[in-house]
Amino acid sequence: MTAAIQSLRPTWFTPAAPPRALLLIAPAMSVRQDFYAPFAEFLRDAGFEVGTFDYRDAGFGARQRPAESNVTLLDWRDDVDAMLGEAERRAAGRPVLYCGHSLGGQLLGLLNRHPSIRAALTVASGTGYWRHNPKMTLRLLYLWFFAMPVYTRAFGYFPGRRLGKVGDLPREIALSWAAWCRHPEYLMGDEAMRAQAAYAAVTAPILSVSFDDDTYVPQPAVEQLHGWFRNAPVDRRHMTPGSAGGKAVGHFGFFKLGRGHALWREAAHWLVAQSESPQPRATAA
C-alpha cells in the first residue's frame, strides 16, 4: 500500500470466503468513514469485500488547524481514483463496484478511473443549486450567499461545526461549493470543473436511491445530477418514507436502516446481480 493510500486511512471489510466482488464506498462531504461501517459489514456478510476511507484532510485525517489545508474537490477526486486503483489491485480480476453517498455520487462523473467500475449505487446524490429546494430558500440564501463565502474568507476555512452547519471544510472546497450552489448548472457552471467532467463517458449501470424527506437533496437535484449520466443505464428510485417502511430517512438515514431493512436487502440484491453480469470491463484511463 502506497503512502498516498495510507494517508486516506482505508478500512477493508473482508469476508472469510473469497469475495464475489469489491465495493468502494465514497463518503459524503464532512462524513467520517466509520459512519458507513454497518452497511459495509452487511455487504461483507453478503460476500463483498468493502473499502471505506476518508478524503484528504477530512474524517480521521482532519487537520487540527483546518485553515492550513489547501485541498480542492479535484484533490478529493484524485483520492477516489487512488482508492479505485487499490481496489482493482485487491480485487485481482473480480468486479469493482462503487457506492457514492451525496458528494461521492457527484464524484463518479469526474473520475479518471470510472471505466474500472462495473456498477454504481448512488445514495442521496444530487446537485446543490439552491433554487431546487424551495422549502429552505431563506436558509440556503444565507448559507451560500453569505455564511459560507464570508466566514470562510474570515477564518481561512469554513467553521461549520462552530456554526452548526455542514461541518468544517477546507477553504477552496467551501468557496467552490458555495459558488456552484449559486449557479443553475451547479459545478458544470464552473469552466474548470466542466473541463474535468466525464459524466457522459460513464456507461456502468447506476442505481440511484433518494428520498422525498431529504431536505438537503430534493428530487430535482437528484434528477439534474443523474441526467448528466446520459450514456449510462440509470435506475432512479425516489422514495417516500412510506415506501421506506414508514421510517424517516432524509439525507443520512439510509446508512442507519440496519441489516433487517428491505432497502438494504434490495441494494445488496442489485449489487450481487451486477457483480454477476457478463458486462465487459474497459481499461481505466
Q: Do the beta carbons of residue 20 and residue 47 sit within 8 Å?
A: yes
Q: Say what percent of the chain tops pLDDT 90.
A: 88
CATH of the domain at 259: 3.40.50.1820
The residue range of the domain holding 47 is 3-129+198-275
Pairwise CA distance, residues 249 & 16, whole Å: 32
Residue 134, domain member (yes or no): no
User: What pLDDT score does 279 carry?
Assistant: 62
Residue 21, domain member (yes or no): yes
Residue 63, domain member (yes or no): yes
Residue 253, domain member (yes or no): yes
Residue 275 pLDDT greater than 80, yes or no: yes
Give the total number of structural domains in the chain: 1
Residue 84, domain member (yes or no): yes
Q: Say what percent of the chain tops pLDDT 70.
A: 98
Residue 256, domain member (yes or no): yes
pLDDT category at 285 given cuts 50, 70, 90 is: very low
The mean predicted confidence, pLDDT, of the chain is 94
pLDDT category at 139 given cuts 50, 70, 90 is: very high
Residue by residue, DSSP assigns 159-224 as: -HHHHTSS--EEHHHHHHHHHHHTSTTGGGGSHHHHHH--GGG--S-EEEEEETT-SSS-HHHHHH
Per-residue pLDDT, averaged over 263-280, amounts to: 90
Residue 57 pLDDT greater than 70, yes or no: yes
Per-residue pLDDT, averaged over 91-114, amounts to: 97
pLDDT category at 4 given cuts 50, 70, 90 is: confident
Residue 149, Cβ density class (10 Å: 0-12 exposed, 13-18 middle, ≥19 buried): middle
pLDDT tens for residues 221-262?
A: 999 999 999 999 999 999 987 777 777 899 999 999 999 899
Residue 59, domain member (yes or no): yes
Residue 162, Cβ density class (10 Å: 0-12 exposed, 13-18 middle, ≥19 buried): exposed
